[in-house]
């Protein structure tokens, strides 16, 4: 059986999950990997057959997605060319992690596309939702990468088609301890804004991982360094706590490592507000931004010892096996 596994390359979370999902697929089939998007920092440890521009959400510098840069980074013509150029007929099965090119190629050519993503779980009616409705955000998420049938990952298994997070083996094997620093990953804030906010807590040692700087530096109690996968997960493993956006993989890995967690959802990013609603149900504190009015909430978190308790077993292979046993079809016949 020949599988196309297509993964979204905006941010690092989808690629982190692919590190474990792809080897599980390779035990059962021949797998080609497609990555689209221009905002990721991780390098995958296996070949990527298709690299496409796709449709990326561009991080801003003041706490949200830059909608104008997101729009300007993509053209309809290029998207159509990428969709039309993808040879999806060569594959017995297409598995999609919120990746738009393969999803729309399947949709247009009436080919089954199986979704396996966090977004599918976040949109599920049984998953937690924020109090404030975002009709446009919901519409974009539902139509960004349409699939024939979907399975999802979330902070809890809210129904039979939602699984607990894939925690990559690199994280499962970490030596977990506490060196009293705090790990920070807020890519929607530029370094200057972030340092200004964090320096209001002078007794805290902050280790910031930045998308906006390629050279490490230290200013008073804030150490800034470029994003590097191994350094980042080691920092998390040794941290007293993690301050990050309300994405999925970083909060999930922090919860698995039993680190106390504080999240700041990105503006103009509906998925992060869905995640924040789910994290609040687990007892994780959520703040809207890093403005001084939220200093009391940050101080409370810094002084707290409370962590959310979760159970994230290593069952990625079982999930992949279930999906393939359910949706595998007869391999394509050779023209020879």
Domains of the chain: 2-167+314-327 (3.40.50), 169-303 (3.40.50.2000)
* pTM of the predicted structure, to 2 decimals: 0.89
Q: How many CB atoms lie within 10 A of CB 116?
A: 27
| Mean pLDDT (whole number) for 152-166 | 97
Residue 45 to residue 68: CA distance in whole angstroms: 33
Alpha helices in 66-166 (DSSP H): 67-72, 76-85, 100-108, 118-123, 135-144
Q: Which strands sit side by side in the sheet containing 222-226, from one edge to the other?
A: 217-219, 222-226, 206-210, 182-185, 241-244, 260-263
Looking at every residue in the chain, the average pLDDT score rounds to 90
First to last CA, the chain: 17
102 neighbors 86 (Cβ within 8 angstroms)? yes
Choose between 78 and 237: higher pLDDT: 237
42-51, 192-201, 246-255: segment of lowest average pLDDT: 42-51
Instruction: Note the pLDDT of residue 331.
Output: 52
Tokens describing residue 257: 């490592």
Instruction: Note the pLDDT of residue 292.
Output: 95
Is pLDDT of 334 > 50? no
């Amino acid at each position: 059986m020949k599988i196309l596994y297509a993964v979204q390359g905006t941010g690092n979370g989808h690629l982190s999950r692919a590190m474990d999902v792809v080897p599980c697929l390779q035990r059962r089939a021949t797998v080609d990997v497609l990555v689209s998007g221009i905002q990721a920092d991780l390098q995958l440890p296996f070949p990527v057959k298709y690299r496409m521009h796709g449709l990326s959400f561009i991080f801003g510098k003041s706490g949200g997605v830059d909608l104008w840069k997101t729009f300007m980074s993509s053209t309809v013509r290029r998207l159509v060319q990428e969709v039309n150029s993808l040879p999806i007929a060569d594959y017995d099965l297409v598995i999609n992690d919120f990746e738009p090119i393969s999803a729309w190629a399947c949709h247009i050519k009436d080919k089954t596309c199986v979704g396996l993503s966090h977004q599918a779980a976040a949109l599920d009616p049984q998953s937690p939702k924020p109090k404030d409705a975002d009709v446009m955000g919901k519409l974009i998420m539902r139509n960004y990468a349409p699939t024939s049938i979907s399975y999802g990952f979330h902070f809890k298994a809210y129904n039979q088609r939602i699984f607990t997070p894939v925690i990559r083996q690199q994280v499962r094997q970490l030596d977990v301890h506490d060196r009293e620093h705090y790990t920070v990953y807020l890519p929607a804030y530029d370094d200057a804004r972030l340092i200004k906010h964090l320096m209001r807590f002078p007794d805290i040692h902050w280790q910031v991982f930045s998308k906006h700087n390629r050279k490490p530096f230290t200013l008073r109690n804030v150490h800034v360094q470029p994003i590097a996968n191994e350094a980042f997960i080691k920092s998390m493993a040794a941290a007293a706590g993690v301050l990050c956006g309300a994405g999925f993989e970083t909060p999930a890995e922090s919860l698995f490592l039993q680190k106390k967690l504080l999240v700041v959802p990105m503006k103009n990013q509906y998925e992060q507000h869905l995640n924040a609603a789910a994290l609040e149900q687990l007892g994780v504190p959520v703040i809207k931004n890093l403005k001084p009015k939220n200093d009391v909430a940050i101080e409370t978190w810094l002084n707290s010892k409370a962590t959310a308790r979760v159970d994230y077993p290593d069952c990625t292979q079982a999930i992949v096996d279930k999906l393939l046993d359910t949706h595998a079809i007869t391999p394509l016949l050779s023209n020879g």
